[in-house]
Structure 1
C-alpha cells in the first residue's frame, strides 16, 4: 500500500529572510565525509553549503538532533522515544535544495528518512510537497528511495516513483537534490538527474506552486514502509542515525504573510536556467530510470485505470506489471521486485 508522504510533524518554522546566494565558479566541493569527495549535481558546483544556524531550526526530537563540524553536519537519530527533524527558517517560492546524506546501516526496516519541501502547516487541505523518502530494509536488503510530487492537496494522485540505488547509501555521503522552478521540477542523485516533472496545462494546480519550507526528518514508518508494514522498526538496533551535510538552500525567500507570499521579488534567479538539461544529462537520466526505477505511478493500472495526463505509459511497459512494479531482472531473481507498495 502506498502511504502518504512525510507524515512526520511539520510545525511552522520562524521566518527570517535570507539572501539568495550568488553562483560562484564551477568548483567541485569536498563532501562532509571527512574530506571524501561526493559527486554533486551541476547546480551545486561552486555553491557554499550553509551551517545549520544560518538557515535552519530544530522542529522536534529534543536531544536526538546533534550538530557536528561547526554546525555543518547534522545527525538525526530515531530511538524508542522519538525521531528528530529540522526545517528551514524561511519559506521559498522555487529554488535549489540539496543535502549530502548518509543513511543508517545494518537492520533498518521501518525507518524512514525524509528530505522534502512542504507547506502542509499552512495549507492543510491544499498543500504542496516535493519529497525524497528513504525507506529502510531488513539486513541484507538495500534501502529504497522514493520521490513524491503533490500539488494543491493532490494526495490521491501522489505521482510516486521508487528506485533502488547503484551504491550503498550507508557507506558514505551522497547528494540528493530538488530543483523547483515555475515550469519544471528535477530530482538529482549525485550528478545524475533521475526525474523530471514538467508543468503542463492538464496538470493545473497539481503542479506545486505555493511557497514551501524545507524539512529533514527521521521517523518510524513501521505501518507501511517495508513490505507494506510486514517488517517493523526493531529498536534493539537503535539508535538509527541519519547524517546530513552540504546543506544548500538557493531559493527565492518570501514573506511569512500569506497575502504577500505569492509575489517575491527575486528577478530572474539562476536556477531557472539550470532546469534546462543537456543531452548528456538526459541520457544519464534515461539510463538511471531504465536500470533503477522499481515502481512508477504511470504504469500502475490498479491505482490509475486511466493514466494521468503527463504519463507516457507505453514507454517501457514491458518492464512493469499492472501494479506499477518492475519485473525482476533477467539473470537476477527472475521474479517481481520484492518491494510491496
Structure 2
C-alpha cells in the first residue's frame, strides 16, 4: 500500500522558519482526517483545511488520521484557548492504543492549561511497547503566547530518532539506545488531535480544575501535515521510501544551537532528574550536572498516581470512556 502523502500549506510566516523548512504537497482535510468525537464541538472551516475543536460542559472533541503510519513527519499550526484554562488539555499526538491496549506506543505533544495570569505549558512524552510505568515527560515554557496566534508544532519520527519542533526549532531529540529496548516506539501509529477535561491532574496535580464559566474552550488547528509511511491496518506492512525522505533532514548545526538555547532557557522539568519518581534515572538518561542544578528550583511535576492518563478520545464531563514570553 503506497504511503499517503497528506499536507496542508503553511499560511503563516513564522519567525524561526529556516531555509530547511519542509514543503510537502496538500490535500483537503476530509481526505486525510475524520472527526473522532465531539459532534458539533468539531467544526471544519469552509476552506476545508482548518478545524476548531472545543470543550464545554457536554464534551470535548477531536479528530484522527485515516491511516496508520510507520515513521514520518507530522505537523499542525495550533492556536490555543485564552484566559482561564486550568485543567484543559489540548493534545497533538500519535498512538496505537486502540490496537495494542497492553503494549501501545505513543509520541505526544500535550498543551497544559493554567490559571489566569499564568502561561500555558507544553509537555512532550514518549512511550514504547506499553512502557507507561516509565513516563518520559519533559515540560517547557514558550518564548511566545500560544493564544495570540498560530504556531507550528511538529514530530519527526524515524526508526532511530524522534525530534519535536516548535516553529521549526527542535526542542527535544530522543535517540534510540540499546538500553531502551522496546521502549522506543516501533509500531505503526495513528495521528490524533483532541481537547479534553483533565481536571484531575493537568494543573498543579489537580489543584485547579476546569471552570466551565469560561467555556467553550476553543483550540484552532490549520496547516496539518501527514507525510510518512502509510501502513495497511490488516497486513501491518507499508511500501515506504527511506526515513530521511519521509521526515526531511535531521537537526542542522544551527538548529542544534537553537535547541540547546531553548532547553537552557525554557525547560522546567525532565523525567531524568525526577528523584521522587525514579530512585535512579532511566538507563537512556545522560545526566548533566549544570542542567540538574538549574532544574532543581522547579518542583517535581505531579502526575497523580503516576500512571498514564491517556488522551480521553471520547471524554465527556462525568464520563471517562476512552476512545514564555522571552525569546532565545
Is TM more than 0.5 here? yes
What is the match of residue 243 of structure 1?
220
Structure 1 pair 39–285 and aligned structure 2 pair: CA distance change class (3 A): closer
What is the match of residue 292 of structure 2?
317
What is the match of residue 234 of structure 1?
211
Rounded Cα–Cα distance in structure 1 between residues aligned with 2:293 and 2:198: 32
**Secondary structure of 1:156's match?**
coil
Rounded Cα–Cα distance in structure 2 between residues aligned with 1:56 and 1:273: 20
What is the match of residue 75 of structure 1?
52
What is the match of residue 261 of structure 2?
287
Equivalenced residues, count: 301
Match of 1:173 among 150, 174, 188: 150
- The within-5 A match list for 1:130-279 is 130-257=107-234, 260-261=235-236, 263-271=237-245, 274-279=248-253
Give how far 1:20 is off: 3.3
Rounded Cα–Cα distance in structure 2 between residues aligned with 1:55 and 1:101: 18
Q: C-alpha offsets along residues 274-298 of structure 1, whole Å, 9 cap, x if unaligned? A: 3532211111101101110111001
TM-score (normalizing by structure 2): 0.86
Higher relative contact order (CA 8 A, sep 6+): 2
Matched-pair contact (CA < 8 Å) for 1:30–1:38: no
Give how far 1:51 is off: 2.4
Rounded Cα–Cα distance in structure 1 between residues aligned with 2:251 and 2:14: 24
Rounded Cα–Cα distance in structure 2 between residues aligned with 1:279 and 1:45: 17
Unaligned 5+ segments in structure 1 are 1-15, 23-27, 322-326, 328-335
Structure 1 pair 104–41 and aligned structure 2 pair: CA distance change class (3 A): farther
Q: Does 1:97 align with 2:74?
A: yes
What is the match of residue 11 of structure 2?
30
Unaligned 5+ segments in structure 2 are 304-328
Q: Does 1:19 align with 2:43?
A: no
CA RMSD of aligned residues (A): 2.1
Q: Does 1:297 align with 2:271?
A: yes
Give how far 1:50 is off: 3.9
Rounded Cα–Cα distance in structure 2 between residues aligned with 1:320 and 1:194: 16
Structure 1 pair 269–43 and aligned structure 2 pair: CA distance change class (3 A): farther
Matched-pair contact (CA < 8 Å) for 2:22–2:248: no
